[in-house]
Structure 1
Amino acid sequence: MNSEDIEKQHAGLVALAIVSLIAGAACGALGTLFRLSLERADQARDVFIARARSEPVSLDANRSNGYPVTPDSVAPNRRDARYP
């Protein structure tokens, strides 16, 4: 190996190190965004559960207080879950 080959290898290793740092930073940022989205979803779920527990839910669509839960709306979902 002559000095030109060694310099090319050195330059390639430096480029690889730089690219790996950028890729690692991007993966870390993506992981952080995912973690934050999970925390927000957890907070939203807690709010939804608290609201659902504070207001009665009726199976009658005319008295549902904003929650139209009827047997007709639940039955198709149950069928899909049972027969994929």
Structure 2
Amino acid sequence: DGMMKDSHAYEPYEAEEVGSVREFPIGKHSGSATIRYHLGRMGISAESGVLRDLLPKIREIVTARKRVLETYELKSLYQEAVCL
């Protein structure tokens, strides 16, 4: 979440300055703002309670897999969470 609030605290220069694009991976350090951002890009408006439930699951999965979550995997987890 901090990266989304103030990228200068984490990056010495803008990603665009070197021809790159800033990305927000879905990993074990992701917070609710990052999850909300990715869901929002898929047209999903998640409630805070759902995000609160998703975060521990996401952290458990990415820690076990030792890789970030893909957006389609996040969508699947979200759909499972709201259907329960």
TM-score (norm 2): 0.23
Which of the pair is proportionally richer in helix? Answer: 1
- The structure whose Rg is larger is 1
Q: Which structure ranks higher in relative contact order (CA pairs < 8 Å, sequence separation ≥ 6)?
A: 2
TM-score (norm 1): 0.23
